Structure 1
């Protein structure tokens, strides 16, 4: 005899109850996911690097206005043709900040995705927090080295440090229970 709609409703309610009380099984049944030390640290450091990435847009605008270098026709509307020719141009400082922002997007997004998956594998808290701190510090150093600019290899080393951290976490995720 097929199941009635009440049976389906009972299954849905049970699934809702079971998933609403999610617990991290690898670090103990009493630790709630939202109270988990690793997840809270990840949330903190991910927020820091995402905010830093977001702040690159206003920094680009600041450089555009202070250097008088605009890229779009509508940005110089109302100006004379002579002023438009002078203002519609590239500036090395603006380009440098934009490249730094692009580099953030290329590195912070993978860190956030891989870091979230890594947090869910139940890693050692000290190791995980070290990874998160090192990545955040490397991105802050990368921005300073890029925008000022500092001599190489400062920028390259800070970029490489963050990349290695992300790859280490990815390796840990892929080898966690070897489900491949």
Structure 2
């Protein structure tokens, strides 16, 4: 069985790759349609600035904002989880299920799939509550 630190590192790298892919998705749509809201980006492309972002870029930005609200909390809990020596047996499950839930949340956001987006969000949050409980148990 791998250590909690191992699974934390795996989850961290996978979450970075997911967030990078979300940014790349935005760039793909902006460059593919040569549509830029930011004046300097539009100027570089020889275009006038767009009045608003493309719908795909807007959805990806909302998914990104949700990541920024959730992933840092997970990363902080993950560090605490590893430092206090919480259950390594639970670590793989909690860290990887959280990570999978964040991937699914983003995919569902981009594809406008409800209630699946909310279900993925709730699964991720539940993982963080269980992580918190495991941390408290390790502290006692």
TM-score normalised over the length of structure 2: 0.86
Q: Where in structure 1 do 4 or more consecutive aligned residues deviate above 3 Å?
A: none
**For residue 22 of structure 2, what is the aligned residue in structure 1?**
56
The one of 122, 142, 167 equivalent to 2:129 is 167
Q: Distance in 2 between matches of 1:66 and 1:77?
A: 16
Q: Are the equivalent residues in 2 in contact too, given 1:45–1:132 (CA < 8 A)?
A: yes
- Tell me the C-alpha RMSD between the 2 structures: 2.1
Where structure 2 has 5 or more consecutive residues not aligned to the other structure, the ranges are none
Structure of greater Rg: 1
The one of 77, 96, 100 equivalent to 1:133 is 96
Aligned residues: 139
Distance change >3 Å, CA 171–CA 72, structure 1 → 2: same
Q: Distance in 2 between matches of 1:177 and 1:116?
A: 14
TM-score normalised over the length of structure 1: 0.69
Where structure 1 has 5 or more consecutive residues not aligned to the other structure, the ranges are 1-35
Cα offset, 1:138, TM superposition? 0.4
3-state SS in 2 of match to 1:71: coil
